[in-house]
Homo-oligomer: A and B are copies of this chain.
Amino acid sequence: MNASTQQTGVALADVVQVLEDLYPPATAQSWDRVGLVAGDPEQQVRRVLLAVDPTLDVVAEAVRTGADLVVTHHPLLLRGIHSVATTSAKGATVTELVVNDVALYCAHTNADVADPGVGQALAAACGLAATQALTLAEDQELGRVGELPTPVTLRALAERLADALPPTAGGVRVSGDPDALVQRVAVLGGAGDGEFAAVRRAGADVYVTSDLRHHPALEAREEARAAARAGRPATPYLVDAGHYASEWLWLPGLRELLLSRLDVEVEISSVRTDPWDLVVGARPDEDPTTDHPVEGDRP
């Protein structure tokens, strides 16, 4: 931070311009709501806080640390609101931002598709260099797919990824034979259980995404098992990296980009916005490939 910035900062309008050069709003999906959510284009920005989600704790951190602007991946107001009264969480968050003169800017699906962006950060954490789009959505590229330099076991891929992710209670879930070799990897930040068909079309050995629910995940695995019955590999295997964790990977690169283009301070939020605080009863090493005889009523 140099002296001039400390006094005058940069106009919010100029920060917005830099962000929209990086993440053009026209590249967002039609259902998405990106851009400036709170703030006045003429207000001054001296310090920026980056986070995955615009939670009350993140806003409190911004106020406490003197940030003038919060940039998040997830929109605060994806669904329109009809009140900013503090009786709802959305209203309390908006009120907290406005009364403290903290602006909020969201780059969501437009950041997913950017180069560099969320998809590429996740691909890099998996060890992928050159990648292609996994599929298209509304004419925008969605997800990445590429080849590892050499095959690795599914377990090794998951462990490499876990090392790159921020810590979470739940960690990284894996479906498939941990010792199978994988090389062609598809990745999609955020909730990915609607894109299994694209993953199969891409011929991926493994699909790294998050928020996989029981039914879509199990159906995808069943398709893989049906393929295995016909002599083909039982792929794609699945890796659920966690929604917060997989998208957090985008923040360090964003920090570098902003520092290089604007005379402002930029920090990554220390708030973990993953909702899960604790896990009990997990058998992380359980071997699922063996059928356990039922004794009494319990497997």
A201 interfacial by beta-carbon distance below 8 Å: no
Q: Are B226 and A89 interface neighbours, CB within 8 A?
A: yes
A33 interfacial by beta-carbon distance below 8 Å: yes
Known A-B contacts A218-B55, A223-B89; the reply to A282 vs B83 at CB < 8 A is: no
Chain B residues within an 8 Å CB radius of A178:
277-278
Within 8 A of B (CB), among A66-102: 74-75, 77-95, 98-99, 101
A253-275 CB contact bits vs B (8 Å, 1 = yes)?
00100000000000111111111
A52-73 CB contact bits vs B (8 Å, 1 = yes)?
0101110001000000000000
A168 interfacial by beta-carbon distance below 8 Å: yes
Q: Are A278 and B268 interface neighbours, CB within 8 A?
A: no
A230 interfacial by beta-carbon distance below 8 Å: yes
Within 8 A of B (CB), among A171-185: 171-178
- Distance in angstroms between the alpha carbons of A37 and B270 in the assembled complex: 32
Chain B residues within an 8 Å CB radius of A275:
175, 212, 214, 217-218, 221, 238
> How many Å from the CB of A222 to the closest CB on chain B?
4
Interface range on chain A: under 10, 10 to 19, 20 to 34, or 35 or more?
35 or more
Interface segment, one of A133-141, A142-150, A158-166: A158-166
A21 interfacial by beta-carbon distance below 8 Å: no
Chain B residues within an 8 Å CB radius of A88:
223, 226
Q: Are B166 and A299 interface neighbours, CB within 8 A?
A: yes
Chain B residues within an 8 Å CB radius of A93:
222, 226
Chain B residues within an 8 Å CB radius of A271:
291, 299
A9 interfacial by beta-carbon distance below 8 Å: no
* A-B interface, 6 closest residue pairs, ranked by CB to CB distance from nearest: A80-B80, A162-B281, A171-B282, A214-B243, A252-B297, A89-B222
